[in-house]
Amino acid sequence: MFRFPQLELASIARLSSLASSLIVLLLFAFLPFAQGQRVPSPGAQPAPSTPPTGRVDDVPLRSIQLDEVSASAEQYERNKKLEKEQEEARLRDRNDRLTFDTGKILQLAIDLNQAVESGPEARTTKPDSLAEKLERYSHDLRITLSGHRMPRPAMSAVTNDSAGNVDEELRRQSRLCLQLALQLKTQVDVLLDPQHRNTVAASTLKTDDAKSARSPAMTTAESIESLAGQLRRRPSAAKPVRAAQ
């Protein structure tokens, strides 16, 4: 009878360990084929990495995009703040010029009325000189209101009247100038009042192109300029005629 050689227990244990290792290696070798993938050969070059595609799961690209959006938003806010500050400075400058011109117009109208009412012999200042300044400041105020150059208003012809009629006409026109100057001061104060910032009249102060805007202050300033031009071109009242000897 044939007898198998008897193996030692140590040899049997080594053979079992080698068999287990071989089975594990075979499983790992055939696993890619079971999943439909190719096993790269030992000498094959690795596949190049694909660049970010802009998908949500591309974390580095998404971080860069968020930084760019944040920087753009901050720059937009800075520009808006700068524009607002420039607009406010421009409006303050315009309001200051309106206040100054309106005050000068009122003071000149008062001086003109006092000079005319005092009579030819008591006048220390010529009415035509005051009328010239009044005409100039009225025109400057119209430019400030509109934001652009303005044409001179049309003026009616000046007639050569007698001395008495000249005196009376000077008084009438000087009084009218004073009334218009007081009216203009009230109208400009309304325009500059913060409570009237949203009114149609006040909105014309904020526009550079106000050719079609005819605010009450603009109309009054134009009337003063036209009247002052007539006063400037009108001859002063003649001196009183001496009685015959």
- What are the pLDDT digits (tens) for 158-167? 555 555 577 7
Joined tokens for residue 21: 């290792």
Amino acid identity of residue 185, one-letter, is K
Average pLDDT over the chain reads 75
DSSP 8-state assignment for residue 147: S
Q: How many CB atoms lie within 10 A of CB 210?
A: 17
Domains of the chain by residue range: 74-233
- What is residue 197's predicted lDDT score, i.e. its pLDDT? 52
Whether the CB-CB separation of 110 and 179 falls below 8 Å is answered with no
Dmax (CA) of the chain:
190
DSSP 8-state assignment for residue 208: S
Whether pLDDT at 184 is above 90:
yes
Whether the CB-CB separation of 146 and 213 falls below 8 Å is answered with yes
Q: What is the mean pLDDT of residues 103-109?
A: 95
Tell whether pTM > 0.85: no
Confidence of residue 232 (pLDDT cuts 50, 70, 90): confident
Q: In whole angstroms, what is the distance from residue 171 CA to residue 183 CA?
A: 18
Whether the CB-CB separation of 221 and 184 falls below 8 Å is answered with yes
- Residue spans of beta strands (DSSP E) within the chain: none
By mean pLDDT, which of 59-63, 144-148, 176-180 is the weakest? 59-63
